[in-house]
Structure 1
Amino acid sequence: MGKGMDPRSRKTFEADGKTWTLQFTTNALVELEEAVGKKIDAFLEAESHSLKDLRTMFWAGLIEHHPEVTQKQAGDIIDAAGGLEAIMGIINGAMTASLPEADAEDGSKGGAVGNGKAAA
């Protein structure tokens, strides 16, 4: 049996008086693929993402530990946590730790999301 997911893939943060846990498990990544209509590698390699896609990715990372959260509520949590810019480090940290085998040849982590910016 394998060692399981890297515990560093579980990121906790505070927002709206509650502790939240973000983790991109296999099931979370499948939910993300289904919601955005793209394979995870194509999604992560995109140069930019719509705000809707970023909110959907955040939602997918939440549902492992907070299955009751809707995508609209995920947007509210982003706002309560300080906005998208504040939350992107948490998203990228969780995604990178969830996909360590995605190390790029240049030494960067392939699990990070594009350039971390929404499309204009």
Structure 2
Amino acid sequence: MVLEKLKQVPDPTYVHAGPLTDFVSSLFVAAGMPAAGAQLSAAVLVDADMNGIDTHGVSYNIDHHYLVGLLDGYINPTPDMKVTYETPGTAVIDADRGMGMIAGVMAMELAIEK
């Protein structure tokens, strides 16, 4: 069964990635996120769409998940992300209910350092 939201539309509207990223970022900033985190989060969503991963992109997530989560307090727009436990080869990050995209970058940067 195909999710209704992911069905093909007869006349799709195509939008350039740059302006879409800027627009989504501005929505996140309006919802209380700092500009750097908003830009990173928007870029990840647009990149997912550009790579055909619609379930992780803008149109599938922006209205029902991220904006609602930020506005309702489910997602923390200004989290205090920190490493809570660390070994030479592992780490645990408390993302403080922040955006997973930002926590993911933090985790990858830490993994590269290790």
> Does TM, normalized by the shorter one, top 0.5?
no
Greater helix share, structure number: 2
Higher Rg of the two aligned structures: 2
Asked which structure has the greater RCO (Cα within 8 Å, sep 6+), the reply is: 1
